[in-house]
Amino acid sequence: MSITIAAPAETAAQVATESDATTRQWRPVCRLADLEPMWGEAALIGGTQIALVRLYEDAVHAVSQWDPFARANVMSRGIVGSKAGRPTIASPIHKQSYDLQTGKCLSEEGLQLDSYAVRVVEGTVEVHV
């Protein structure tokens, strides 16, 4: 499943401006029930590609879809797991492991995924993008 959220009236300039951290806003993405536990899904929100990951306890994390090591938009197909009690996602290409809460790479110094705040409101997953 791929999920796309985009307002048809947005111009390219507006989309670029919305990606700026100072103008981030909560955006509805999908229903919590649409996400399978321990599996990633890709979403495009106003021009920003993200990977959503639902854990068994219904916590949802959002990180950038862009794998900085492989230089490809593939993180939603990564391997979901944990390391030292922290939820992780490993690149499906070269297997670098990233902390789902912070985006920090746990296996390669200097690599980082963007991470986004997520909340569930009345069964709808919202991402702060």
CATH number for the domain spanning 114: value is 2.102.10.10
pLDDT tens across 72-120, in order?
A: 999 999 999 999 899 999 999 999 999 999 999 999 999 999 999 999 9
**Burial code of 5-17, b = ≥16 C-beta within 10 A, e = fewer?**
eeeeeeeeeeeee
pLDDT tens across 116-128, in order?
A: 999 999 999 999 9
Rg, the chain, Cα only: 14
Residue-range definition of the domain harbouring residue 48: 2-128
State how many domains the chain has.
1
